[in-house]
Amino acid sequence: MAGSISTLGIGSGIQLQDILDQLREIDQGVIDKKKDSVDDYKAQINEFTTVNNKLLAMKSASLDLSLSSNYLKRTVTSSDEKVFTATVVDGTAVKSQSVTVDRLATKSSWITGGASSVDDSVYVPNTQESTTGVADPAVDSIVTTTGVLVINSGDAASPTVITVDVTAGMTMDDVVTAINNDNENVGAVNVTASTYVVDGSTYLRIVDTGGDTGEPGRVSIGTNGTDLSFAPPTKLLAFQVDGNTFTLDVAADTSLTQLADLINADSSNPGVTASIINDGTSVDPYKLVLQANATGADQEISFLAVLPDAGFTVKGQTGDSLNAQLTVDSITYQRQSNTITDVLSGLSLSLQGAGASTVSVSNNNEEITTLITDLVTAYNDVVQEIDGQVGYDATTEEFGILAGTTIRDIPFGLQGLMTASNGADSTGIVETLFDLGMAFQRDGSITLDQTKLAEMLSDSPDAVRDFFIGTETSIAIPQLDTSSGVIDADLVSIADTNGTFVIKYGIGATDTITVDLTAGDSLNTLVAAINADAENVGNGTGGRLLTASTYTTDGTTYLRLESANNVGTGDVTALSIETNGTNMTFGVATNRYIYSSVDGFADGVTDYLRTLTSGTGQVAAEKSGAQSRIDSLNLKIEEDTVRLDKRYELMAKQFVALDGYMSQMTSMANFLTGQFQSLSDGWGQVGGKN
């Protein structure tokens, strides 16, 4: 503490420090009360924030209820999900529809004959061809030294061996003749040799004569005594899917497994999958299955070329039978897949099996129920929070920290909102939340009768929607304009002779208003006559049925006729000209529209809460006021503390001086007391002698 001296009071023997501290404590109490007030205001600001957050939660709930999109939510069910399941797009019309699934879409599928092993060949070569050729088979030698050409025909395990002697200088034609006339070949005729020309070169071909496939037709070269090299030709596998052609050159002795891998790995694969299956039969159980990746006739596999030892046969449906077929309202539809998105508006069906099922679309009342319940819950949170911070506490004998603020009145405003009626529901079925099962409790909270709410949502969903989001209506006002005009509406004549101008109006334009014309009448004269005509004046809303007026565009003035009624009721629902005694022409009658809307309950709640919680709203104003009081108190506390520090610094110095002075007085008193005692003692001794 300023001015505090630890030895203060020793000189005087008086507890001066305690006196100084006690005096400071009394004065400090005033400052401490201000600090307590600052703490109270800080707590108040925190509570304002809490209340504001709860108001924002309520605003969010009311905003959700004001969004038309939330009333477009739909649920869909299928009476038999073994036939199909369904999904629905928000906003789809509520309906129930019977659907018969005649068949599912399937995938085009082909299967090969059986094999004893996955390593069995899909192409056993029955041909050997030279990989090099000669320019002239009758002249060019293909044998350098004398030797043999050994040809194996038939199963590799026990082939027929044909040994052909070849001598140096033999031409290709000589070798062909030697093969075909060899004793081991003649009679049995196992193979046939011939030549063929490609790009000007002649090649040698050795083919199994019997045309056998598989191992019985295998042809291979055992020993090659010629200068030629031999290899079996590749075979073409080709098929088409959805207009895309797939071709694959398959080498000799490619196995089932290898062929499947080649098809699946090819970058030009048009959408098929090859797989090896074991069907469990005792003989040749391994088969290659080729299946389209997608369903439908467009994805049907059509073979253009097949392998000699891997013949494919179709499995399952072909053509349009690959498509899904369903019947709705006696109309049959075919689709490429089992997902149907374009037959029933807003619905997607996932076909599961043949049969009949009913698809039903209904409002998603569970979501609306949740939104309404959320609003009620948010309201209760706000009201209970404020009430808890306003009421009197018998224990502390104090009111809550919001008691002295305008926040205490918010529950009354909210209660007025929650009980308010609006005309958004034109049917009058839902006018207040009470119609949806709301009830007030004694503590000011709200309960919601879920059974009654469910009944209203089920029986009158449109009325509930209109109550919350409001309605908008349009009014058609019949309007008929001239298609020709005049330069000056006062001076230019529109009538060359005396005559009549007859306007037809009403339902079907069957009623008439007749205006007499005089030669030389101007456009403004006609306008005045129409507006003053006895058949017009006094019969309609606002004094007349029709209003005639002029408007000017690009310097030309035109006549306009329209209903005088701007609220959408009355007799004028159509307009036309029956007799035109003027020299003007008229276009086709049109409608102009007047739009009117009624705000929904949720809009009213949202707007009120938006005002309360905005940056300039009631809660923000209270927070700003509390913060201003805090700032003012903190400034006062700072000033009071400085003043006290100075005061007690001075008092401490004064007490030090007092303590020193009293110490001197004590010393002087002690000195005088000693002197007096000495004098007394001296006087006593003198007296004794006397």
pLDDT for 16: 63
pLDDT for 456: 94
How does residue 566 score in pLDDT terms, banded at 50, 70 and 90? low
Contact at 8 Å (CB) between 536 and 530? Answer: yes
Whether residue 159 is predicted with pLDDT greater than 50 in this model: the reply is: yes
- Interatomic CA distance for residues 345 and 364, integer angstroms: 18
Contact at 8 Å (CB) between 143 and 226? Answer: yes
**Residue 315 phi/psi, 5° resolution?**
-120, 125
Whether residue 352 is predicted with pLDDT greater than 90 in this model: the reply is: yes
- What's the rounded mean pLDDT across residues 548-560? 92
pLDDT for 2: 45
Higher pLDDT, 144 or 588: 144
Q: Within its chain, how far is the Cα of 653 from the centroid?
A: 78
How does residue 250 score in pLDDT terms, banded at 50, 70 and 90? very high
pLDDT for 660: 65
Cα atoms in the Cβ-side hemisphere of radius 13 Å centred on 284:
10
Task: Using DSSP bridges, classify how beta strands 286-292 and 109-112 pair: parallel, antiparallel or unpaired.
Answer: antiparallel
- pLDDT cut 90: percent of the chain above it: 60
Contact at 8 Å (CB) between 230 and 131? Answer: yes
pLDDT for 569: 44
- What's the rounded mean pLDDT across residues 352-374? 95
Q: Give tens-digit pLDDT for 594-614.
A: 777 788 899 999 999 999 999
**Residue 643 phi/psi, 5° resolution?**
-65, -45
Total residue length of the chain: 690
How does residue 282 score in pLDDT terms, banded at 50, 70 and 90? very high
- What's the rounded mean pLDDT across residues 344-350? 96
How does residue 509 score in pLDDT terms, banded at 50, 70 and 90? low
pLDDT for 646: 82
Contact at 8 Å (CB) between 598 and 467? Answer: no
Look at residue 292 and give its three-state secondary structure: strand
Spatial CB neighbours of 558, under 8 Å, sequence gap ≥ 6? 481, 482, 484, 485, 550, 551, 552
pLDDT for 541: 47
DSSP structure string for 450-511: HHHHHHHHHH-HHHHHHHHHEEEEEEEEEEEEBSS-BS-TTTSB--SSSEEEEEEETTTT-E
- Interatomic CA distance for residues 500 and 512, integer angstroms: 12
Mean pLDDT of the chain: 88
Whether residue 364 is predicted with pLDDT greater than 80 in this model: the reply is: yes
**Residue 148 phi/psi, 5° resolution?**
-135, 150
Neighbours of 423 (CB within 10 A): 13
Q: Give tens-digit pLDDT for 99-142.
A: 999 999 999 999 999 999 999 999 999 999 999 999 999 999 99
- What's the rounded mean pLDDT across residues 619-630? 89
pLDDT for 211: 76
Whether residue 25 is predicted with pLDDT greater than 90 in this model: the reply is: no
Neighbours of 60 (CB within 10 A): 15
Whether residue 315 is predicted with pLDDT greater than 60 in this model: the reply is: yes
pLDDT for 4: 46
Q: Could you tell me where the DSSP H helices lie in 292-435?
A: 365-388, 410-418
Q: Give tens-digit pLDDT for 379-438.
A: 999 999 999 888 888 888 888 888 889 999 999 999 999 998 887 777 889 999 999 999
With CA atoms as reference, report the closest residue to 481 among 568, 569, 565, 591: 591
Contact at 8 Å (CB) between 523 and 550? Answer: yes
- Interatomic CA distance for residues 562 and 592, integer angstroms: 9
- Interatomic CA distance for residues 413 and 617, integer angstroms: 14
